[in-house]
A and B are shown apart, each in its own frame.
Chain A
Amino acid sequence: MNHGVTMRDIVVKLGCEVMAGSEHLDNPVAFGYSSDLLSDVMAKVGLGDVWVTVQTHENIIAVGSITGVSGIIIAGGAAPLPPTVRRANEEGIPLLVTVKPSFEVIGILYHMGIKGRSEK
């Protein structure tokens, strides 16, 4: 994890919208993980990782907060529900939204030097 990428770098690279947690964009990113199954994320995502999902409901913030992610990217263009945005702000978790599908987002993150946790 010496790529030095922050959530802000990801926002710039993806050209995406920041829906919440904008004061925490300097969070450094450790590794990346992508899954839409919440219990799978619970089991696999690590402290400081960036999480890519298509889920938009409030529980993604609960999962992100419990696991200590550096930020959440909602891929595929669906807008987060208002309670999701509110809770992300409360918990101080950067919440990014992009029209790009998960596959493309992950490819871009990978090119930025962010790897999966099992590759460390």
Chain B
Amino acid sequence: MYLEYRVDGGDFQASGQAAAGIKRTLRQIGIDAEVARRAAIVTYEAEMNIAIHAYLGTISIEILPERIIIQADDEGPGIADIPAAMQVGYSTATEDIREMGFGAGLGLPNMRRYSDEFEIESQVGVGTSVRAVIILPAKEGN
């Protein structure tokens, strides 16, 4: 199964559509609640990073029998220092965005923590790509 969402930069008021969509879909197909929760958290953080830090992006989600692949690609400023960005508490978010409770510098660490495989690539002035994989628990009796 394949899902794709477009995310506009700056549209963080109404965001979270991709995360809501994946959670609903995973529950419908009977995926374990805790796994669905992890996938939705990763998706939400990816979505928010595009909305807050980039100009335009897509989130694509592939649901395979044994894994969920969450891919976020954006056109945006990119990240110059990825190891710094991966640190808990590192954020370049503006004061307005922080007041809304975003910009705690926990998004990328959350994504890494809740996924089984995590990769990030970025080119300054071009954009950023994040790929997170969540391994599905083997179904009993299969």
Contacts and interface: CB of A to CB of B under 8 A. Distances in A.
A48 to B, nearest CB: 10
Interface residues of B, number: 25
Interface stretch (A8-16, A24-32, A39-47, A98-106): A39-47
Given A62-B19, A66-B44, A38 B102 contact: yes
A35 to B, nearest CB: 8
Given A37-B101, A59-B12, A67 B20 contact: no
A57 B13 CA distance: 7
Given A65-B23, A66-B41, A43 B16 contact: no
Interface in B66-106: 100-102, 104-106
A31 to B, nearest CB: 15
Given A47-B34, A55-B100, A66-B23, A39 B16 contact: no
Contact of B20 (A43, A55, A65): A65
Nearest to B47: A62
Interface string A58-92: 11101101111000000000000001000000010
Interface residues of A, number: 22
A59 B23 CA distance: 15
Chain A at the B interface: SS class: helix
Interface string B104-125: 1111001001000000000000
Contacts of B13: 57-59, 83
A45 to B, nearest CB: 10
Interface of B is mostly: helix
Nearest to A60: B101
Contact of B45 (A39, A53, A68): A39
B15 A42 contact: no
A18 B105 CA distance: 32
A42 B14 contact: no
Nearest to A42: B41
Contact of B44 (A36, A42, A55, A57): A42
A104 B27 CA distance: 36
A84 to B, nearest CB: 10
Per CB-CB distance, the 4 closest pairs between chain A and chain B, nearest first, are A62-B16, A39-B106, A37-B104, A66-B40
14 contacts: A38-B48, A38-B104, A40-B106, A42-B106, A43-B110, A43-B113, A53-B101, A58-B13, A59-B100, A66-B19, A66-B23, A67-B37, A83-B14, A91-B20
